[in-house]
Amino acid sequence: MKVEVEGLSDILMADGGESTYEEIITMAMIEKAMRGDVKAYLAIKDVLGQTSKSDVDLEEQQLRMAATKANMGVDGEEQEDDGFLEALKGSIENDWADEDEEGWSDEDEEETTDI
């Protein structure tokens, strides 16, 4: 959607761009970053997928993640269905019922706390 913002729209269109909300917001962030706004700079960096970590740090993180997955028995493939979710089906009604098997209601019990 096109928008007119005094000063920014003219600059964008002069450079062959369009005056859309996306371009206006991007241009405003760039201007703030150029004036020393660190938060604007970091936001732009995040959008571009840049990181402050070195290649060694990133490789170490990947190795730690792979080791953790290996220790947990996760190999990146889907886990075999162990039937856990199927076993839970039908028990929800019983678990959330107002009365238990002996006819006791949650309302019959009085909560007390030791303070």
- The residue ranking higher by pLDDT, 109 or 58, is 58
Asked if pLDDT for residue 79 goes beyond 70, the answer is no
Q: pLDDT tens, 38-53? A: 999 988 888 887 777 7
Mean pLDDT of 13-35: 83
**DSSP helix/strand/coil, 47:** helix
- Sign of the C-alpha dihedral, residues 20, 21, 23, 27? positive
* Mean pLDDT (the chain, rounded): 76
Q: What is the pLDDT of residue 20?
A: 80
* Confidence grade of residue 77 (pLDDT, cut at 50, 70, 90): low
Q: What is the pLDDT of residue 34?
A: 92
Highest mean pLDDT among 16-20, 26-30, 92-96: 26-30
**pTM for the structure as a whole:** 0.40
Query: Which residues, in sequence order, are CB contacts of 3 under 8 Å at separation 6+?
Result: 9, 19, 20, 21, 24
* Confidence grade of residue 32 (pLDDT, cut at 50, 70, 90): very high
